Amino acid sequence: MNATSHTSTYTSTCTSYCSFCGKGYKTRNRLEKHATLCEIIHKTKNNKKIVIEEEDEIPSQRRLYQLLLELGQKYNRLEEKVEEMRVWVDKKKKKINVIDWLNTTMRPSNTFDTFHEMFQVTEETIDYLFQTSFMETFDNVFSKTMSLYEETNRPIIAFQQKSNIFYVFEERQSWEILSREKIVQFLNRCHRKISKALSDWKRSNQSKIQNEDKYALQYDKTVSKLMSIEWTHDPTVNKAKAIMFSHLKIDIKTAVEYEFEY
């Protein structure tokens, strides 16, 4: 390989080029410093058996020492790069299955099947529903319910690394990904619980509803809010999931040094 075939890859400020690799240098002195080592590397690349010919010029002891120092520098830089690559490879290899990790590290005292029973729906909830939408009320109730649990004792969990994916602790005492069927079942139970609380409010305030228009109108509007919720519609389910995710998500990296394998 001659120098001229490489000159196009270097700037016009280079005046000297290595006859072995074509690399350009601004000064002759830098070229000579490079060329001795490059010649050795070039020979070791192209010859399985290294033979010193009689006409080969043997470097001086000073030059050999300089070569050793340069080789030492190259070795250190190479070792650093290899270590960086090893760390990167180890990080990529250190993946766990999140279900396995949950089964090993988290054993909640309750299962997801009974989770809806923890929902605290009171007259205060109905007062909140009068003033807001159903989804805002669901958000309020869900938030309060989550505050009753320690993070490691919840039968449902989500990770910010995977949006709107939920893991639930089942009756068989193991974790699994929450299916759409089960989340709809859960949302229906929550909906019925709020509806029942509204019915209780109606019974307690029957005379007001019958005798005062504002209470009758308030009750009718609130019933309409509840009736407008259809869990068969994906957008409605997705809104509820987004609310749940906002209260459940944790950063797995704060708990383990591994990346997810979904």
pLDDT exceeds 50 at position 107: yes
- Distance between CA 46 and CA 121 in Å, rounded? 81
Look at residue 46 in the predicted model and tell me its pLDDT. 58
Look at residue 39 in the predicted model and tell me its pLDDT. 72
Lowest-confidence pick of 93-97, 128-132, 191-195, 196-200: 93-97
Summarize the confidence of residues 80-106 as an average pLDDT: 78
Reported confidence tier of residue 236, pLDDT bands at 50, 70, 90: very high
pLDDT exceeds 50 at position 45: yes
CA distances from 98 to 60, 176, 226, 260, 262 (A): 62, 9, 36, 6, 7
Report yes or no: 145 and 110 within 8 Å, Cβ to Cβ. Answer: no
Reported confidence tier of residue 2, pLDDT bands at 50, 70, 90: very low
Q: Tell me, rounded to whole angstroms, the distance of Cα 240 from its chain centroid.
A: 22
Q: Hey, what are 171's tokens?
A: 């009756």
Give pLDDT tens digits for 161-171: 888 899 999 98
The dihedral of CA 221, 227, 229, 233: what is its sign?
negative
Reported confidence tier of residue 238, pLDDT bands at 50, 70, 90: very high
Give pLDDT tens digits for 178-210: 999 999 999 999 999 999 999 999 999 999 999
Choose between 26 and 79: higher pLDDT: 79
Domain boundary assignment for the chain: 1-58, 63-92, 95-261
- Distance between CA 126 and CA 59 in Å, rounded? 93
Give pLDDT tens digits for 48-92: 555 556 566 677 787 777 777 777 788 788 888 888 887 776 665
Q: Hey, what are 93's tokens?
A: 């290899």
Token look-up 């340069």 returns 70
